[in-house]
Amino acid sequence: MKQKNRLLEMYYTLYRAFGPQHWWPGETPFEVAVGAILTQNTNWGNVEKAINNLKKQDALSVIALHKMSVKKLPDLIRPAGYFNIKAKRLKSFISFLMNDYHGSMKKMRDEEVKTLRVKLLRVNGIGPETADSILLYALEKPVFVIDAYTKRVLSRHGIIEHERPYEKYQELFHSSLKEDVKLFNEYHALFVRAGKTFCKRKIPLCEKCPLRNILWLT
DNA sequence: TGCCAGGCCGGGT
DNA sequence: ACCCGGCATGGC
């Protein structure tokens, strides 16, 4: 079977098993971007605690975070872990947003995707996954997000070798699927959902995984 | 009680 | 171009 159909079949299988995921869990594009930085190598539940702290202090806005001292921020986002480094990363994203788009996510959205991705990657603390999460989930650009679960599922199914460069995984989706925001949104969210449930690090294969019947291990 | 979570950076080969 | 240590909390 062709790669294209494999990936689509995987998608439909996951969708049938789990249904729509309603991602990203965030009320505004800015909140999505903040969440994307806070969730780096971190459980989403902890990120929610950090975001709730910000909300309680009315600090979840570009202006509030822009004005906030780098001394106070780590304390608010503490539950998300890596709080010192993430405070700096949030700050560098805010600076970028202020300098290049007058603090407006709407203006950022008007930037051409390829250019914007390159610019995001230059921001300290924003790597490929975070950049693509912002592009797809905050700005609704057709960019596929690759994360640890996606990599793990694909390599365990023999679709791509283990630990290839980020862009290799991404090219696979971009060349095999229609560049559709809704599809990319749902598909990546489903990978995370399936990964959390059935594809943990120490569990190589799982009998209950909805993908068990479409394994192509080589 | 360790292991794990929706990565990324900086310094070294 | 890779490789690796560091970064840190909270849930199971």
| Strand C contacted by A46 CB (< 7 A) | yes
- Find which nucleotide's C1' atom is closest to A163's CA: C2
| Strand C contacted by A42 CB (< 7 A) | yes
Q: Where are the domains of chain A?
A: 3-22+144-214, 29-138
What crossing angle do the helices spanning A181-198 and A148-156 adopt, rounded to 10°?
80
Residues in Cβ contact with A201 at an 8 Å cutoff, skipping those fewer than 6 apart:
A152
Which three-class secondary structure state does DSSP give residue A42? coil
C-alpha closest to that of A200 among A144, A156, A169: A156
Residues in Cβ contact with A143 at an 8 Å cutoff, skipping those fewer than 6 apart:
A113, A117, A132, A135, A136, A170, A184
| Strand C contacted by A88 CB (< 7 A) | no
Domain A3-22+144-214 fold: Endonuclease Iii, domain 2 (1.10.1670)
What is the homologous superfamily of the domain A29-138 according to CATH?
Hypothetical protein; domain 2 (1.10.340.30)
DSSP category for residue A210? T
pTM for this one? 0.95
Per-residue pLDDT of chain A (218 residues; tens, 9 = 90+): 566 688 999 999 999 999 999 999 999 999 999 999 999 999 999 999 999 999 999 999 999 999 999 899 999 999 999 999 999 999 999 999 999 999 999 999 999 999 999 999 999 999 999 999 999 999 999 999 999 999 999 988 889 988 899 999 999 999 999 999 999 999 999 999 999 988 777 766 677 788 887 765 44
Which three-class secondary structure state does DSSP give residue A68? coil
CA of A88 to C1' of C12 (A): 30
Residues in Cβ contact with A10 at an 8 Å cutoff, skipping those fewer than 6 apart:
A157, A211, A214
CA of A214 to C1' of B5 (A): 27
CA of A5 to C1' of C6 (A): 41
CA of A49 to C1' of C7 (A): 19
How far is A170 from A114, CA to CA, in rounded Å? 14
